[in-house]
Amino acid sequence: MKKDAQASWGGRFKEPPAKLMLKFGESVSFDSKLARFDAFASKAHAKMLARSGIIKESEAKKICDGLDGIISEVESGKFKWDTALEDVHMNIEQALTKRVKCASKLHAARSRNDQVATDMRLFFKFACSELSGKLERAMKSLVELAERNSDVVMPGYTHMQRAQPVSAAHWILAWVEMLSRDMERFGFAYQGANVCPIGSGAIAGTTLPTDRIYEAKLLGFTDEGGACVTQNSMDAVSDRDPFLEFAFACAACGTHLSRIAEDAIIWNTSEFGFVKLPDAFTTGSSLMPQKKNPDAFELLRGKSARLIGNMSSLFSLVKGLPLTYDRDLQEDKPPVFDSFEQLSICLDVLAEMAEGMEFDKKRCLEAASDPLLLATDLADYFVVLGVPFREAHHMVGKLVAISEAKKVPINKLSDSDVLKICPKADKGWRGVFDLKRAFEMREKIGMPGRKTVADKIASWKKILG
């Protein structure tokens, strides 16, 4: 019997696989990243088999020790991966069987289909926790940036046109809100992954007397102490929702990072000049000696394309697949590994960038001191005097036109100009054009009033520790 290349499934074959097929079909070049999850899952499987009387306790012990040995070799880089053995599962199993004879009993009551699904869910739980930690660090760094700049007043924009004055802190806290939703999304992705597929076998479970609940508990697939196990063996081996949810969470977060980066890139232009970026995260030009480019932010913006691409690859991969496992699904791993690695470094970069970002307070204030930014406040003032808002809006629009025609700033128009347009106006109208007042009038939930923002900073600091 010829068994050379594939001892684990070679039984029914007369010929070994072609060299090209081995090269084409291998996944160990990327799924070796799952080694520790795979070994962890195999240890639990061995314990479950022993408890169910399928193997001896002493055999389970030898298998677990053997797996520990393999993992320390993997971690020290000594383990020899062999692409001819296809994937991480077979590499580990074969190495183990060479060392521990009874390990040939380990694959009872499981298939690589439920094994890979289990490994990946363990990976997602790990990855979601890691990214949540990194998100937390980035948010903390942004909250500190907000706190350092709570007295920086700047214009907020709609349609990239100056709209109304805000504080740098209020703007930065908007970013923090965005990232906090990403954090929630990683929480959902974690919950989605926290259901154990092992025991589903290749498609229809097993005839062996296994204990899925016990194995799920060993693997930490629990919620408030109770085991979470998948409820349909066919769904369990073909379901890739955890991949889609994880990739979506990464893409959404990447999209937020991209928008944050874009804000900072605009602020950093000579035209705006609102911020200075740290030297350590900018680069020069090989040609133009004066240049200091915001590369780190540009890369944050660019990486988001990759994260969206990874998500879209996964949806395309899964959408036409018949139940249950199809080998196409081997292609599900590179996109999620890539999203995890790229988003991890993006969040680290954002955290460090925020530490070194400096606002030009004077320049921001100059830009925010355009009285037109308080045109809406004047309309609100007229409303308080009893003018319906639509009319008030129209009146202020007229005053803006007059100020433009006369080339006089709106707050320097004469009282009679204003009275002509708004007969209800009183002398107090000019007092509206005061940034201090504008902020004082905005001390309500979610608004940029100084105290409101300070309270928000304090509450974020408490949440983030």
Contact positions vs ligand ARG (CB under 6 A)? 27, 31, 87, 112-113, 116, 325, 327, 329-330
Q: Is 319 exposed, middle or buried (CB count within 10 Å of its CB: 0-12, 13-18, 19+)?
A: exposed
Cβ atoms of 125 and 337 within 8 Å: the answer is no
Strands 161-167 and 222-223: what pairing? unpaired
Assign 154 to helix, strand or coil: strand
**Residue 39 C-beta: closest distance to ligand ARG, Å:** 16
- In the bound state with ligand ARG, the residue whose beta carbon lies nearer, of 220 and 334, is 334
**Residue 293 C-beta: closest distance to ligand ARG, Å:** 41
Assign 151 to helix, strand or coil: coil
Assign 165 to helix, strand or coil: strand
C-alpha distances (whole Å) from 19 to each of 83, 94, 449 are: 10, 19, 69
- In the bound state with ligand ARG, the residue whose beta carbon lies nearer, of 42 and 330, is 330
- In the bound state with ligand ARG, the residue whose beta carbon lies nearer, of 23 and 291, is 23
Q: How far is Cα 141 from Cα 131, in angstroms, rounded to an integer?
A: 15
Cβ atoms of 357 and 145 within 8 Å: the answer is yes
**Residue 3 C-beta: closest distance to ligand ARG, Å:** 17
State the first-to-last Cα distance of the chain, in angstroms, to the nearest integer. 64
Q: Quick one: tokens of 401?
A: 């036109």
Task: Name every residue whose Cβ is closer than 8 Å to that of residue 80 and which is 6 or more positions away in sequence.
Answer: none
- In the bound state with ligand ARG, the residue whose beta carbon lies nearer, of 113 and 268, is 113
Q: How far is Cα 454 from Cα 150, in angstroms, rounded to an integer?
A: 8
DSSP E strand stretches across 150-273: 153-158, 161-167, 222-223, 226-227
**Residue 330 C-beta: closest distance to ligand ARG, Å:** 4
- In the bound state with ligand ARG, the residue whose beta carbon lies nearer, of 8 and 104, is 8
Q: Quick one: tokens of 126?
A: 């790990």
Q: Bridge-partner residues for 293, per DSSP?
A: 283
Strands 222-223 and 226-227: what pairing? antiparallel
Assign 436 to helix, strand or coil: helix
- In the bound state with ligand ARG, the residue whose beta carbon lies nearer, of 322 and 386, is 322
- In the bound state with ligand ARG, the residue whose beta carbon lies nearer, of 116 and 418, is 116
**Residue 445 C-beta: closest distance to ligand ARG, Å:** 49
What are the catalytic residues? 159, 285
**Residue 184 C-beta: closest distance to ligand ARG, Å:** 29
**Residue 104 C-beta: closest distance to ligand ARG, Å:** 18
